[in-house]
A and B are shown apart, each in its own frame.
Chain A
Amino acid sequence: MSAPGDQPTRYRVVYSERVRAALRLLLARADAVDMRQVVAAAVREIDARLQIYPQFGEPLRDMETEGETLWVGAVEPLVVHYVLDDPRRLVFVVTPFKTLAHLGL
């Protein structure tokens, strides 16, 4: 059993301005179908997972910079593409969240 305070170092998650702007639009769309809270909860869940265990998704391909890999993860109703820089414990989310098609968002 791990001792209290014996927490692993979290990954630092960095989002682009474009992601933030797109998130506002996504929440507005979600509001129209009464899913604003659901989408917000999914974003929080994604962020928490990226900080603690970004390997929850699947790798798609290596990036040009050594140590960086493009991943994808999905938390209903969202899909997130992210670049994991494991050696530096960094996660970059630079393209907007996408929605699973069948959910009407």
Chain B
Amino acid sequence: MSQPTLESLARQAAAGDRTASDDFLTRLQAIFRSLDGGMLDQVVRCALALKGQGGGETSPPMQADQVPPAMAEPVAPRPRVVPLTPELLEWARQQVNVEEVVAGLREVRANGGIGSEELLSVLDEEVERP
């Protein structure tokens, strides 16, 4: 079965579905992890601006026991791009087999391959597996 979209999860969460709310926040957190600091700042500003448009309504701050598990987890630091030293480049050259790459290209040209979204959804499945 296909995963519900973020939009449908958001609607369910807004309607008070606690499980949908947790799933929504887990998936949002995965998206936020892929953003750089500048983009995250924009997301925060955008969210705050939207919250401010709510006709003056404000939500009370969350109590500790109301924090969804996805938000309670610490956010991992962003992975570091490793500078490619001459030694690492040489190692990388030895690791790649050009015939294998050519065969792989032929395969994805023949069957279309897998897009980013599909790969990342597989990743989410594996990461969320207990």
The chain A residues found within 8 Å of chain B, CB to CB, are: 12-20, 23-24, 27, 36-38, 40-45, 47-51, 56-58, 60-61, 63-65, 68, 70, 72-76, 79, 81, 83, 92, 94-95, 98, 100-101
Contacts and interface: CB of A to CB of B under 8 A. Distances in A.
A33 to B, nearest CB: 15
Contact of B81 (A20, A70, A73, A95): A73
Interface residues of chain B: helix, strand, loop or mixed (majority) = helix
A100 B115 CA distance: 25
Interface of B: 30, 33-35, 76, 78-82, 84, 88-89, 91-93, 95-98, 100-105, 107-108, 111-116, 118-120, 122-123, 126-127
A75 B80 contact: yes
A51 B103 CA distance: 23
A23 B115 contact: no
B111 A17 contact: yes
Contact of B120 (A47, A63, A92): A47
Task: Give the most central of B89, B96, B97: most A CB within 10 Å.
Answer: B96
Given A20-B119, A41-B76, A47-B116, 14 more contacts: A12-B115, A15-B115, A27-B126, A42-B79, A45-B34, A51-B116, A63-B98, A63-B101, A68-B105, A74-B92, A92-B108, A94-B101, A94-B103, A95-B104
